[in-house]
Structure 1
Amino acid sequence: MPEGHSVHRIARQLDRNFVGRVITASSPQGRFAEGAALLNGREMIGVQAVGKQMFTEFEGDLWLRVHLGLYGAWDFAGEILVDPTIASANGRMGQTNQRGTVLDPAPAEDAAIYDDAGENSLNSIGAPRRARVNVRMSEQTKGLASELTEWPPPPVGAVRLRLLTDLICADLRGPTACQLQTPDEMLATVAKLGPDPLVGDTSEGEERFITAVRRRNVAIGQLLMDQAVVSGIGNVYRAELLYRAGLNPHKPGKSVPVENLRALWRDWVQLLDIGVETGQMMTMDDLDPEAYRRAMASRDDRHWVYHREGLPCRTCGTNIVMEDMVGRKLYWCPTCQA
C-alpha cells in the first residue's frame, strides 16, 4: 500500500496538470461509469491528500475520493507539467511516470538515479509493487517515458477512471475506493482520519497525535498504522520511525512518554517532507554524497531495519527481527529498541 508521501505527490501532480481545467471523465472499465458521467465536463477546483486518501473537488460541490489501497496506481500521459515543489533525490526538478512530453525537464547532465528495481526516484508515485507497463505511477516502476503514438492513448488494463484534457491524460487503476461525495460527506471522511503533517497546523496535529496515542493501551507499533491515530504511516515508515526513536514496538501507547511522542511526530514531519520531495522513503541520515546515491539506487542501503530481518543492526550488530503484528510485517532491533 502506498504511504503518505506517494499520495501527496499524486495530489501535487494532479493540481499542476488538471486544476482550473474542464475535465473529460470516463470509465473505460465501466465500474465507475455513473460517477464519471457526473464528473464529465466539470472544472477541477482543487485537490488535497490526507494520509493515504486523496480528495479532488469539482465545480458543483462534488468531490472525488480515491484510496489506492494495495493495488491502486495512476498513469499520466501527454504534455506533463512538472510540479516545481517536487525535487528528485539528487536535487533536480521532479517528474512522474509518463508517456509523452515532460515540460520543464531536468538538466541532461544531472543523470537520474535508478534503483535495483528499475525505479527512477523522480518517478515514484503510486502502488509500491511491480507493474507490467513502464508508465505506471508506482514505486517499483521503471521510470522511463514511452512515446505516444495516438491521442488520447488507448486504455491499458482495467482503467477505473480516466481524467482527460486536450494535453494530459490520467488513468486510475485498481483503487480500493473511488467514489463521489458531497462536501459534508468529504468533511466527515476527513474528520475520521488522524493528523497529517502536511494538512492544517502542524502543532495542532502534534497535540492530536499525542492525545490519541496516550489514551490507548495498545502497542505503539499498532497505533502508528491506525489511520485514525495518524495519517499516512505504513509498514516502512512505521518500522523506521520506531527504530529512529529507540522505541519498543510493543510498548503500550499510554506508557510512551510525551517527550518521546513529540520527537516521534516531529521525525514523521521530517521524513514525510523528504519522501514527498524525493519520492523515496529515505530514512538514513547524514550520508555523504556517494552513500546517498547508493541509498537512492538500492533499497538495501536506504533503511535502518525495514526488510532487513536476520541481518545485523547497523548500530549494535544484533540481528534484526521480523514478526507479525496484526497481520503486517514488523521489523525491529531487540537491542536498540529494548
Structure 2
Amino acid sequence: MPEGHSVHRIARQFSVNFVGHRVAVSSPQGRFAADATRIDGHVMTDAKAVGKQMFLEFDNGLWLRVHLGLYGAWDFAGDISIDPTIASANGRMGQTNQRGTDLDPILDSPILDAAGENSLHSIGAPRRTRLRMAESEKVEAEITSFPPEPIGQVRVRLLTDTAVADLRGPTACEVLDPAQVDAVIAKLGPDPQVDDGPEAEERFVSIVRRKPTSIALLLMDQSVVSGIGNVYRAELLFRARQNPHTPGKKVPEDTVRALWRDWVHLLRIGVETGQMMTMDDLDDESYRKAMASRDDRHWVYKREGLPCRVCGTNIVMEELGGRKLYWCPVDQA
C-alpha cells in the first residue's frame, strides 16, 4: 500500500500538471461515470494530500477524493514535469535533510534503483512519457501519440491538453462537497507534511499516551497519525529501539515525542526523494547502495531471519493486526 510520502508526491504531480487547467473527466471502465459528469469540463484549482488520502478541487466547489488502498495506482502520461518546489536548476530532484543531493557523489549522475523504481529521476524534465505512481514510481514507456489509449480497468481518466492521469484499482474514489471533505479530514490524525508544528505533536502524544493499544498498532491507525504504513512503522520503532508490543500509554513520553519528530524527518526525505530511506549517516558508498536497492535501505523491514544490523540477532517477523511486523527482539526488547 502506498504510504504517505507517495500520496504527497502524487498530489504534487497534479499541482504542477493539472491545477489551473480545464480537465475532461471520464470513466473508461464505467463505474465512475455518474460522478465523472459532476466535475467534467471544470478547472482543477487545488491538489492536496492528508496521509494516504488525496483531494483534487474543481472550480465548481467539488472535490475528487481518492484513497489508493492496496491495489490502486495512478498512471500519468504526456508532458509530465517535476514539482518546481523541490527541483534544482538542472531539473533533477533536489535537497533532502539527510544528504545534500540525490546525485551520485562521485559520478554526479542520478542513482538508479535496481528494481526499476527510479524515483529520483522519473519525474524529471518535461517529456512525453508514461509514469506509474503508487507505492513506487516507474517510467514505463515513452508514448508516440497523445492521449494514449487507456490500459486495463481505468476507473477515472483526467485529461488536459498536455497531460493525462488514469486511476486504477482504488479503495475509494468519490466526488465530495467541501463539508464532506472537511468531515473526512477531521477523522484523520496529524500529517507532518500538513502541520509539523507543536500542536500536531501534542495531539499525537496525547492520543498515544492514553491508549492501551500496542504502539505498533497505533502507528498504523490513521486516526492517530496520518501516512504511516508497514515500512515506516517497522523502521520508526527500530530507530526508537521501542518494543512494538508496548501499550501506547506505557511508552515514555520522550519516546513518543521522538517517534513523531522522526516521522517528520523520514516523511520529508520520502517526499523529496521518492524513496523510503530510513538509514542515516551513511558513507558515500553505502548511500549509493541504499538508494539503488531496497535491501540496503532499511534496518528491519523485510529482513526476517537476517541478522540485525546492530546486534546480530535474527530479525523477527510476525502477524499483527493482519499485517506483517518486523522487529529485533534484542534491540527492541
Q: How do residues 121-270 of structure 1 correspond to structure 2 at under 5 angstroms?
A: 121-122=119-120, 135-140=131-136, 142-144=138-140, 146-270=141-265
Match of 1:114 in 2: 112
**CA contact under 8 A between 2:75 and 2:130: conserved in structure 1?**
no
Aligned to 1:102: none
Partner of 1:130: none
Change (3 A) 1:139 1:222: closer
Normalised by the length of structure 1, the TM-score is 0.89
Could you tell me whether the CA contact under 8 Å between 1:117 and 1:141 is conserved in 2?
no
Any conservation in 1 of the 2:153–2:168 contact (CA below 8 Å)?
Answer: yes
Cα-to-partner distance string for 1:161-191 (whole Å, 9 max, x where unaligned): 1111111111111100000111010000000
Identity of aligned residues (%): 67
- Aligned pair 1:93/2:88, yes or no? no
Cα deviations by residue, 1:13-66 (Å, 9 ceiling, x for unpaired): 100111111111111111101111111111111011000000111112101100
2:85 counterpart SS class: coil
Instruction: Give the Å deviation of 1:201.
Output: 5.0
Mapped to 2, the partners of 1:211 and 1:184 lie a distance apart of 27
| Partner residue in 1 for 2:42 | 42
CA contact (8 A) 2:119 2:136 kept: no
C-alpha contact 1:87 1:122 (8 A) present in aligned 2 = no
Corresponding residue for residue 56 of structure 2: 56
The one-letter code sitting in structure 1 at the alignment partner of 2:212 is N
Aligned position for 1:11: 11
Whether the 8 Å contact between 1:220 and 1:252 is mirrored in structure 2 is yes
What amino acid sits opposite 1:112 in the alignment? P
Which residue in 1 is equivalent to 2:97? none
Whichever residue aligns with residue 174 of structure 1, its letter is: G
Q: Which runs of 5+ in 2 are unaligned?
A: 95-102, 124-128
One-letter code of the match for 1:19? V
Contact 1:6 1:124 in 2 (8 A): no
Match of 2:331 among 299, 313, 336: 336
Q: Which residue of 2 aligns with 1:99?
A: none
- Matched AA of 2:224: V
Unaligned 5+ residue runs, structure 1? 96-105, 126-132
Matching residue's letter, 2:92: M
Question: Deviations along 1:200-251, whole A, 9 cap, x unmatched?
Answer: 3522111110111111101000100000000000000000000000100000
Secondary structure, aligned partner of 1:143:
strand
Distance 1:9 1:119 in 2: 14
Distance 1:186 1:173 in 2: 22
SS at match of 2:146: coil
Distance 1:265 1:209, change over 3 A: same
Kept after mapping to 1: 8 A contact 2:3/2:135: no
Q: In 1, are the aligned partners of 2:76 and 2:130 still within 8 Å (CA)?
A: no
Q: 1:69 to 1:139 in 2, by over 3 A?
A: closer
- Paired residue type of 2:113: D
Output the TM-score relative to the length of structure 2. 0.90
2-structure distance, mates of 1:241, 1:183: 34
How many angstroms apart in 1 are the aligned matches of 2:50 and 2:176?
15
Residue 87 of structure 1 and its aligned partner are, at CA, apart by 5.6
User: In 1, distance between residues paired with 2:206 and 2:121?
Assistant: 36
Q: 1:94 offset after TM fit, Å?
A: 3.6
Q: Residues 123 and 55 of structure 1: is their aligned pair in 2 closer, same or farther, counting only changes over 3 Å?
A: farther
Letter in 2 for 1:122: L
What is the CA distance between 1:121 and its match in structure 2?
2.6
1:317 aligned to 298, 306, 312, which one?
A: 312
2:265 and 2:298 mapped to 1: Cα distance? 15
Q: How many residue pairs align between the two structures?
A: 316
1:290 is aligned to 285
